[in-house]
Amino acid sequence: MNLLMRQTLPLLELDILKTFVAIAETGNFTTAAETVHRTPSAVSMQIKKLEELLGCSLFRRDARSVVLTHHGEVLLSYARRLIALSNEAVSRFMMPEMNGVVRLGAPDDVGELILPEVLRRFAETYPSIAVNVSIETSSSLRRAVAERRLDLAIFNSADGTMPVPGEVLLKEQLVWAGKNCGNAHLKNPLPVSVWEEGCIWRARALEELSRSGRDFRVAYFCAHHMGQRAAIRADLAVAPLARFLVGDDMVALGEKDGLPDLGHYLIGLVVNEDADTPALAVADYIRAAFARIERRPMDMLQVAC
């Protein structure tokens, strides 16, 4: 019976999902219509069809903006994953003989924890394409793409908006990370581990600490993600980290621990408008990698002892 029910479930159409994602990212039906090369009325009909198919509302609409409902937020993660995996599958069969060099940029944390798997999977499909990776700050990476020194780059955006050009890969919560069962967060002044001046997480963290009135001191400084994790694991300091980067030996700290909320940030991708086919293939693999990231609910993260 369960097998029969699964077989008769309706299928989601990729074209409609692309329209749905475009609206979610632009917050506007008209702008989304331009993105997917359809008329606004056609876009509205697609979303109506999708909402009828799923039996729920996906957007809250008013005169000025379009905002995702809870159901819309859930679908957005699935939609990005399905689109990215479709692109990856198609590229594997349609472009197997490519060669060349792709210049890719990424922030330190992404370069250490996410890119290795992306590059491994990509090399299996396209062994004749070399990918040269540059690790820089987000602002430097975007500038390098604009100046054509990079073909594409992954970057962080702290203010919750996606710069143009740019597309959203992931919306993630920024949290205070401390050693699991550690006591660095109990000290006064609070010992904080930070990146270099250009890091957007550093600016957000120090600004929120100052606004909350919490005394703090910079106890550890390192320009690399590995150094930050070392300071956390040694219980020398707490540091701002993306929620999905909090390891099993760490704990996500927040307002209940006397630390200010750091909100969310966006991970984005920018690709040169004249990027060649190999660069576009790398972009598809990056999209697929972020679509596969499992986003753990907050109650599944470890709590402090």
User: How far, in whole angstroms, is CA 226 from its chain's centroid?
Assistant: 20
CA atoms of 79 and 20, how far apart (whole Å): 8
Low-confidence ranges of the chain (pLDDT < 70): 1-7, 63, 95-96, 159-161, 164, 196-198, 294-305
Among the listed residues 278, 270, 291, the one whose alpha carbon sits nearest the alpha carbon of residue 153: 270
CA angle, 191 then 197 then 198, to 5°: 130
Distance CA 39, CA 32 (A): 9
| Separation between Cα atoms, residue 298 and residue 296, nearest integer Å | 6
Class for the domain spanning 100-170+266-295: alpha beta
* Residue range 281-298, pLDDT digits in tens: 999 999 988 887 744 444
Please tell me the predicted confidence (pLDDT) of residue 86: 86
Alpha carbon distance 153, 286 (integer Å): 10
Where do runs of H (alpha helix) occur along the chain? 2-7, 14-26, 29-35, 40-54, 70-94, 108-113, 115-125, 138-146, 200-212, 225-233, 277-292
pLDDT of residue 302: 42
Right CATH for 14-95 from 1.10.8.60, 1.10.3720.10, 1.10.10.10, 3.40.50.720: 1.10.10.10
* CATH number 3.30.565.10 given to 173-264: no
What residues does each domain of the chain span? 14-95, 100-170+266-295, 173-264
Residue 296 amino acid letter: R
Quick one: how many helices (H) and strands (E) in the chain? 11, 11
CB 177 within 8 A of CB 250: yes
**Per-residue model confidence (pLDDT) at position 300:** 37
pTM across the whole model: 0.66
**Rounded (10°) angle between helices 115-125 and 277-292:** 130
Residue 139: Cβ within 10 Å count: 13
Same fold, 14-95 and 100-170+266-295: no
